[in-house]
């Protein structure tokens, strides 16, 4: 089964909670705070792997969660960090935020790595809150909780050479002749419903070739499976335009050639301008006067603008000439730069923002990255914890900002998930 587009849900691991603990041993009953910090949650990381050629691994399984960090321990022991989750994807995979459509990773080269979402930070243990004034803190900090995100994976095949042409012109057969690939071949339109890739090895040279599924008129407008097929041509360096010069299906080779190029131009000007080599397939069937006439007319019409190779997948006529021509063209080309894609961060952490709004009932609501971080350490039932939180609010100017917004004694204030009455 070939899958070139799918949607999955990913989530980094939560951070482990900090520990509240006090040192004790046979000689010490009431020692100082020694609660350790929680471990960091695991990241979700995408890695490009040239050994993969489709996204089937992400078709049946839809949820991918990295491991949580472990909680801190006594004796200031750090919690173990959560294990990272590795998502291996084929080279050429684009990863998008499902909600916004923004590209968050474009996996081009083998081994390329991209952190999609980062694990939550571990909470601080009570040992970290001790100072000269607060010698026995009875509170710690919770680990940072992470969000689940929906992302779209889309594969755009990466190959040096792309085979294009109408259905049943012999592309799959040519691929099998040139490479070790063995696609299933039958004489039907839309024979190939997914790109077949193979590696051509010719003396000391090699290149990757892809059989792009057969195009039809209107493909650039999405007819048939147009968009699904055409995207796989975008990253090829050279196009081998396969033409059934024997017109086995009764079609006109010139008309077929023009239609395919029209679709390429309508879909993507850059793809249309890629170097093309015309491969006139089924030359073994050119033997009568009429077919020879069509061959000569085609060569006369396009011979000045394109390199034309007479070829037969059945008899292997033209194999060496075609391979030498392709290698020569590849080596002449400057290194093709992939179109720039703006990369957006999916999980942009914010630890500094402060937002103050007021609800219809008069309640002041304080939110933002700084508040989320600070509220992880609140334990309302613990006077020491709450006093520490109040001091942090004053130190960061949040109380002053609330007063500027009209806060008065007795007003309700909601900070994070907590709500309380303001007392001066």
pLDDT per residue over 145-171, tens digit each?
999 999 999 988 778 899 998 877 888
* pLDDT averaged over every residue in the chain: 86
Q: What is the mean pLDDT of residues 394-406?
A: 92
What pLDDT does residue 374 have?
A: 84
pLDDT at 225: 43
Given a cut of 70, whether residue 226 has pLDDT beyond it is: no
Query: Structure pTM?
Result: 0.73
CA dist 163 and 210 (Å) reads 6
Closest CA to 55 of 195, 200, 234, 230: 195
Backbone angles phi, psi at 222, to 5 degrees: 90, 5
Contact yes or no for 377/142 (Cβ under 8 A): yes
Residue 171: what pLDDT?
84
Residue 25, helix vs strand vs coil: coil
The boundaries of every CATH 2.70.210.12 domain in the chain are 1-155
Residues of the chain with CATH 3.30.300.350: 355-421
H helices of 7-130, in order, are none
* Cβ pair 243, 294 in contact under 8 A: no
pLDDT of the residue at 189: 39
Three-class SS state of 189? coil
Q: Which CATH number fits domain 1-155: 2.30.30.60, 2.70.210.12, 1.20.1440.230, 3.40.50.300?
A: 2.70.210.12
Q: How far apart are CA 126 and CA 349, in angstroms?
A: 24
3-state per-residue secondary structure call for 26-84: CCCCCCCECCCCCCCCCCEEEEEECCCCCCHHHCCCCEEECCCCCCCCCCCCCCCCCCC
Domain 355-421 maps to which CATH number in 3.40.50.10190, 3.30.300.350, 1.10.30.50, 1.10.10.10? 3.30.300.350
Q: What is the pLDDT of residue 147?
A: 94
| Three-state DSSP state, 267 | helix
What distance in Å separates the CA atoms of residue 97 and residue 347, rounded to the nearest whole number? 10
416, 371 in Cβ contact below 8 A? yes
The pLDDT assigned to 229 comes to: 62
pLDDT in tens, 45-80: 999 998 888 899 999 999 999 999 999 999 999 999
In tens, the pLDDT along 252-283 reads 999 999 998 988 888 888 888 999 999 999 99
Q: Please write the tens of the pLDDT for every residue from 167-199.
A: 778 888 898 888 855 444 433 333 445 677 788
Question: How deeply is 154 buried, as exposed, middle or buried, from its count of CB atoms within 10 A (0-12, 13-18, 19+)?
Answer: middle
pLDDT at 216 over 60: no
- Select, from the ranges 63-67, 215-219, 358-362, 385-389, the one with the highest average predicted confidence (pLDDT): 63-67
What mean pLDDT comes out for the span 307-321? 94
User: 161-332: what CATH class?
Assistant: alpha beta
- Asked if pLDDT for residue 132 goes beyond 90, the answer is no
The CA dihedral of 215, 221, 222, 226, to the nearest 10 degrees, is 20
For CATH 3.40.50.300, list the domain ranges present in the chain: 161-332
User: Picking from 214-223, 295-304, 345-354, which range would have the lowest pLDDT averaged per residue?
Assistant: 214-223
């Amino acid at each position: 089964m070939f899958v070139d587009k799918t949607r999955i849900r990913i989530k980094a691991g939560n951070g482990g909670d900090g520990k509240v603990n006090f040192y004790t041993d046979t000689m010490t009953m009431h020692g100082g705070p020694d609660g350790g910090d929680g471990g960091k949650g695991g990241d979700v990381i995408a890695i490009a792997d040239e050994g993969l050629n489709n996204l089937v691994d992400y078709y049946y399984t839809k949820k991918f969660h990295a491991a949580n960090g472990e909680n801190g321990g006594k004796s200031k022991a750090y919690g173990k960090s959560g294990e990272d989750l590795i998502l291996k994807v084929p080279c050429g995979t684009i990863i998008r935020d499902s909600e916004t459509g923004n590209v968050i990773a474009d996996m081009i080269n083998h081994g390329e790595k991209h952190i999609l979402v980062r694990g939550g930070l571990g909470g601080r243990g009570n040992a970290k809150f001790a100072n000269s004034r607060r010698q026995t803190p009875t509170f710690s900090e919770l680990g940072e909780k992470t969000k689940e995100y929906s992302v779209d994976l889309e594969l755009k095949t990466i190959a040096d050479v792309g085979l294009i042409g109408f259905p049943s012109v012999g592309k799959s057969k040519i691929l099998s002749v040139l490479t070790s690939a063995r696609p299933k071949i039958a004489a039907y339109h839309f024979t190939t419903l997914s790109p077949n890739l193979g590696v051509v090895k010719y003396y000391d040279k090699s290149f990757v070739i892809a059989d792009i599924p057969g195009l039809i008129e209107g493909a650039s407008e999405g007819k048939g499976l147009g968009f699904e097929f055409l995207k796989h041509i975008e990253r090829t360096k050279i196009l081998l335009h396969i033409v059934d010069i024997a017109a086995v299906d009764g079609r006109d080779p010139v008309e077929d050639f023009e239609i395919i190029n029209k679709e390429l131009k309508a879909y993507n000007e850059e793809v249309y301008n890629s170097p093309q080599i015309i491969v006139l397939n089924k030359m073994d069937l050119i033997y009568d006067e009429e077919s020879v006439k069509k061959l000569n007319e085609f060569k006369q019409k396009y011979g000045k603008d394109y390199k034309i190779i007479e070829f037969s997948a059945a008899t292997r006529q033209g194999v060496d000439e075609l391979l030498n021509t392709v290698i020569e063209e590849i080596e002449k080309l400057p290194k093709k730069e992939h179109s720039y894609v703006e990369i957006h961060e999916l999980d942009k952490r914010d630890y500094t923002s402060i937002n103050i709004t007021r609800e219809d009932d008069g309640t002041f609501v304080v939110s933002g990255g700084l508040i989320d971080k600070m509220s992880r350490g609140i334990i309302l039932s613990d006077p020491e914890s709450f006093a520490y939180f109040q001091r942090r609010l004053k130190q960061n100017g949040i109380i002053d900002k609330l007063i500027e917004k009209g806060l008065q004694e007795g007003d309700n204030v909601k900070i994070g998930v907590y709500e309380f009455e303001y007392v001066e």
